[in-house]
């Protein structure tokens, strides 16, 4: 299994499932649930940071790389495990993606665990951020127009958890769960629940999932592009770095990817210093951590940015 750095505490639970012959799909779901239930991770599930109105809106997706069955939810409020609701969308509906009120209605219908995902500490962070924008919970809720406030409340505070798994049968699966961009406009959906953008896998080639500025992964169809690159024979490290070069060619914003190939090779890349990722196999007692390859953004038009563009970016 491979995960974003914040997924480390969950990996032993996922590996236990794989070691006893369980499926990659069960492993990635179990791991995502672990982090969703952890209130100390302020980027996922319970304890995730809310939108500008103080509502924790969760996005999640899960994919089976063998059948390409997938399920996703976005802007889901009031439930503990968006990843399990996403899996139920995949397994129990004729659809792949439910959002907002419809996703919550479906979660209620299947008896999903309800939760108050705004914790005392994330409420405090939200009130502080509103204060810096000259607002209070009461004032912001009264507003007819939110855009001006959101321009002040959103900074580079995002976060997500990615899990990629390869099981004994050679099936690959991937799961992504997030509370998205902190203090976002209500209804903002990032890349995490969008198959092909923040999450994609194909058991023939491998899997990829993103964290960071989700709008970039949507615009670049990043996870699918990465798996296409694996399919074309590109090694995992070059694939991960090409994804960051693509993002860098568009905007200067934090962006990260993890990649796992169908033969178990893995790599991760970022455009910010010091970012890590983790992995674990059934032969390991605990997860290993490594620095992601750094692909810094070059100034537009510099010789090296043109070289990296030739090596794998959009242009
Ligand atoms: N990609 C997530 C989003 O845009 C946030 C993150 O990973 O930092 O919602």
Residue 190 beta carbon below 6 angstroms from any ligand 1 atom: yes
pLDDT at 307 over 50: no
- Among 45, 183, 198, 257, the mutation site with the greatest number of ligand 1 atoms within 8 A of its Cβ is 198
Q: What is the pLDDT of residues 239-257, one digit of tens each?
A: 999 999 999 999 999 999 9
Q: Which residues pair with 83 in a beta bridge?
A: none
User: Going by CA atoms, what residue is nearest to atom 7 of ligand 1?
Assistant: 211
Q: What is the pLDDT of residues 293-305, one digit of tens each?
A: 999 998 665 544 4
Residue 199 beta carbon below 6 angstroms from any ligand 1 atom: no
Q: What is the pLDDT of residues 6-52, one digit of tens each?
A: 999 999 999 999 999 999 999 999 999 999 999 999 899 999 999 99
Q: Where are the domains of the chain?
A: 2-314
Quote the pLDDT of residue 301.
Answer: 58
Please tell me the distance between residue 254's alpha carbon and the centre of ligand 1 in angstroms. Answer: 10
Quote the pLDDT of residue 186.
Answer: 97
Quote the pLDDT of residue 52.
Answer: 97
Quote the pLDDT of residue 311.
Answer: 44
Band (309; pLDDT cuts 50, 70, 90):
very low
Of 119-133, 153-167, 252-266, minimum mean pLDDT range: 153-167
Which tokens in the block code for residue 57? 């809106």
Quote the pLDDT of residue 171.
Answer: 98
Q: How far apart are CA 71 and CA 73, in angstroms?
A: 7
Please tell me the distance between residue 278's alpha carbon and the centre of ligand 1 in angstroms. Answer: 18
What would be the CATH architecture of the domain defined by 2-314? 4-Layer Sandwich (3.60)
Q: Please state the rounded mean pLDDT for residues 165-180.
A: 98
Band (159; pLDDT cuts 50, 70, 90):
confident
Residue 79 main-chain phi, psi, to 5 deg: -125, 145
Q: Please state the rounded mean pLDDT for residues 63-81.
A: 98
Please tell me the distance between residue 98's alpha carbon and the centre of ligand 1 in angstroms. Answer: 19
Query: Cα angle vertex 256, ends 315, 6, to 5°?
Result: 170
Q: Please state the rounded mean pLDDT for residues 107-119.
A: 97
pLDDT at 77 over 60: yes
Which tokens in the block code for residue 177? 């769960």
Residue 159 beta carbon below 6 angstroms from any ligand 1 atom: yes
Which ligand 1 atom sits nearest the alpha carbon of residue 213?
4
Please tell me the distance between residue 169's alpha carbon and the centre of ligand 1 in angstroms. Answer: 31
Residue 181 beta carbon below 6 angstroms from any ligand 1 atom: yes
Of 153-157, 188-192, 291-295, minimum mean pLDDT range: 153-157
Angle between helix 303-312 and 236-250 (nearest 10):
120
Share of the chain above pLDDT 90, in %: 92
Catalytic residues: 160
Quote the pLDDT of residue 157.
Answer: 79
């Amino acid at each position: 299994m491979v995960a974003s750095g914040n997924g480390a505490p969950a990996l032993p639970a996922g590996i236990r499932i794989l070691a006893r012959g369980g499926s990659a799909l069960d492993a990635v779901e179990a791991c995502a649930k672990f982090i969703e239930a952890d209130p100390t991770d302020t980027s996922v599930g319970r304890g995730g940071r809310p939108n500008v109105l103080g509502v924790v809106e969760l996005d999640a997706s899960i994919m089976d790389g063998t059948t390409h069955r997938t399920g996703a939810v976005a802007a889901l409020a009031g439930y503990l495990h968006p990843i399990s609701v996403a899996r139920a969308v995949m397994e129990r509906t004729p659809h792949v993606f439910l959002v907002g009120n419809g996703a919550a209605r479906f979660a209620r219908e299947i008896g999903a665990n309800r939760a108050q995902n705004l914790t005392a500490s994330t409420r405090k962070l939200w009130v502080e951020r509103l204060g810096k924008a000259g607002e209070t919970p009461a004032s912001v809720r009264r507003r007819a127009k939110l855009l001006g406030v959101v321009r002040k409340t959103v900074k580079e505070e995002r976060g997500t958890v990615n899990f990629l798994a390869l099981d004994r049968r050679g099936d690959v699966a991937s799961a992504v769960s997030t509370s998205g961009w902190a203090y976002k406009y209500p209804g903002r959906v990032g890349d995490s629940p969008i198959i092909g953008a923040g999450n994609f896998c194909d058991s023939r080639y491998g899997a990829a999932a993103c964290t960071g500025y989700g709008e970039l992964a949507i615009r670049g169809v990043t996870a699918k592009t990465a798996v296409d690159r694996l399919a074309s024979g590109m090694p995992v490290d070059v694939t991960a770095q090409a994804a960051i070069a693509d993002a860098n060619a568009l905007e200067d914003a934090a962006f990260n990817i993890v990649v796992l190939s169908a033969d178990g090779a893995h790599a991760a890349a970022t455009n910010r210093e010091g970012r890590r990722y983790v992995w674990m196999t059934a032969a390991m007692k605990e997860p290993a951590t490594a620095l992601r390859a750094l692909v810094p953004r070059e100034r537009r038009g510099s010789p090296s940015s043109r070289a990296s563009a030739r090596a794998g970016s959009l242009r």
